[in-house]
Structure 1
Amino acid sequence: MKIRPVTPSIGAEITDVHLGEASRDAERFAPIRAALLKHKVLFFRGQDITRAEHVAFAKRFGPLEDHPVLGSDPDHPGLVLIHRSDNKHSYENTYHCDGLWRPTPPLGSVLRCIECPEIGGDTIWVNMVQAHDELPEEIKQKIAKLRAKASIEHSFGAVMPMEARLKLGQDHPPVEHPVVRTHPETGEKVLYVGSFTTHFVNYSTPENVRHGIDKTPGAALLLNYLLSRATIPEYQVRWSWQPGDVVVWDNRSTQHYALNDYWPAPRKMERAGIVGDVPY
């Protein structure tokens, strides 16, 4: 097994390993898991694996989760089929970490390319540890104890009829997470807001608000600034897909953005999301 960093900040390509075999062999799997904690996203070219092997490999990291909107393959629970061929709309072309709207967002994901356009359809991942570490000190102090709400209703629900959108919001009410979370395995501090984030819940304090303009506009400006950190190129890695590619990422320390620049060409991906823990 060979591990080659792709950028100085994030990402490594791993060669000379078959993920089907790694799904059955703890010794082959162990260095992959260690590399994920170090590099945050791992790239594997030309993986000829079955859906069953895809699921088995992902389960090495932990139990898999379903998705309330996208569902999963009935023969392989936990495997979400993201097949785009007849609709230009995309939910993924925003900087986000998966499932921020869950009380326990995913640990990570294993995404496999089935079919992709000849040009376009790349995905970007972002090192949100570095995005936090390089914040100005006064901003770090300001956000250290802030908490924010995240919701699925204003993203996936936005294109639904009103009754379906309201039911989605009732079934999955907004959740509250720290703006800066601690990675449970590495201890790193992570900037933990993304496109599912709606607002701060404890910003309006005497320290932050002196006049009305400090309250809602002030909080929104700060949130937008934090969201913009994901767009800094020095924190990013970009991957051009080929059929058979598999990418594994740590959803706790990264965000990603799937470019929606390929329609009407088809793009078929399959993702296994791994159950995570409560951020703190």
Structure 2
Amino acid sequence: MTPQTVHPRKGAPALVRPDILRTSITVEPLTCTIGAELAGVNLGDAARDADLFAEIKQLLLRYKVLFLRDQDITRAEHVAFASRFGTLEDHPVVGSDPDHPGLVRIYKDLDSKPEHYENALHCDGTWRESPPMGAVLRCVETPAVGGDTIWVDMAEAYRRLPEHIKTQIAGLRARHSIEASFGAVMTQERRHRLKEQYPDAEHPVVRTHPETGEQILFVNSFTTHFVNFHTPENVRFGQDNAPGAANLLTYLTSQAAVPEYQVRWRWQPNSFAIWDNRSTQHYAVQDYWPAVRKMERAGIVGDRTF
């Protein structure tokens, strides 16, 4: 695609005013719905420049995930840039860099066993009452081939649902669990302790983005079940309950697998992805074992979904 000046998509919120864009930043959309690669900008500079950061944030709201290459910045600059979005969060399972709290090290090396908690379409941390706002992910080391990451536009997924499905899911709420995901590989005792620390969270099936106003289909691989499906409108007999709810949830979560809603990014060392976790899902492709892949992620604390 040809790099272009950013203009709001027809029918989408006017998130980016052309008059505030710096001419130094090149924006290349990667698909018709989600993702853009930025050039001519350094995230270390953006960590120190409020106006430059504001421009990047506006582009993030427009494209939902931004990609940059050749960002030779320090870990401190990585953390400082991510912190402009908000407070950074820890992770209960994956370790953080000891010198930079909030910078989670996702290292898959020869000493690691193949793990499969990432290669599922998911929205980070929806097992929290306040899921992350987003994240800034850096590639430290990657295989020569493989290890791509896929992001999905869940606002587009909602927009293109059949109208009768939109009507059916309006007002539905669902449970999200860390116990049923990360906890599944743990001993029973450790799994129960994890659930005590992070009880199941409840979120609307259709979330309203707090900044853009977009409606977002907000179920993913952390979602276990609907909590208010069993009503006279949905359930005539007991047989309608469990199969009906499970089939609907399976249908909704499957929307993230639609290629038309996706963008796929091939990593290189010192390339970055910045994503809005409120309106996207992602999938880390694990096709590279036993090659080494090392990533560092700064996750940003989010707000309640209500």
TM-score normalised over the length of structure 1: 0.99
What's 1:159 paired with?
185
CA–CA separation in structure 2 for the residues paired with 1:173 and 1:276: 17
Q: Which moved more, 1:215-224 or 1:79-88?
A: 79-88
Deviation at 1:71, TM superposition (A): 3.2
Deviation at 1:30, TM superposition (A): 1.3
The counterpart of 1:20, out of the listed 41, 44, 50, is 44
Unpaired runs of at least 5, structure 2 = 1-24
What's 1:113 paired with?
139
The counterpart of 2:271, out of the listed 237, 245, 259, is 245
Q: How does 1:150-189 map to 2 (within 5 A)?
A: 150-189=176-215
Q: Deviations over 1:77-122 (max 9, x none)?
A: 1100000112111311001010000000000000000000111100
CA–CA separation in structure 1 for the residues paired with 2:187 and 2:145: 34
What's 1:257 paired with?
283
Number of residue pairs aligned between Structure 1 and Structure 2:
280
CA–CA separation in structure 2 for the residues paired with 1:60 and 1:6: 25
CA–CA separation in structure 2 for the residues paired with 1:146 and 1:90: 29
CA–CA separation in structure 1 for the residues paired with 2:47 and 2:170: 39
Q: Deviations over 1:110-156 (max 9, x none)?
A: 00000001111000000000000000000001101000000001111
What's 2:76 paired with?
52
CA–CA separation in structure 2 for the residues paired with 1:174 and 1:138: 29
CA–CA separation in structure 1 for the residues paired with 2:95 and 2:236: 47
CA–CA separation in structure 1 for the residues paired with 2:214 and 2:30: 21
**SS at the partner of 1:153?**
coil
- Say whether 1:7 aligns with 2:7: no
Q: How does 1:54-203 map to 2 (within 5 A)?
A: 54-85=78-109, 86-203=112-229
Q: Deviations over 1:40-88 (max 9, x none)?
A: 0000011101110000000011110001111311211110000011211
**SS at the partner of 1:83?**
strand
What's 2:245 paired with?
219
CA–CA separation in structure 1 for the residues paired with 2:113 and 2:211: 39
Tell me the amino acid that sits aligned with residue 170 of structure 2. A
What's 2:14 paired with?
none
Tell me the amino acid that sits aligned with residue 65 of structure 1. E
**SS at the partner of 1:230?**
helix
Higher relative contact order (CA 8 A, sep 6+): 1
Tell me the amino acid that sits aligned with residue 26 of structure 1. A
CA–CA separation in structure 1 for the residues paired with 2:94 and 2:256: 25
Report the RMSD for the aligned CA atoms in angstroms: 0.7
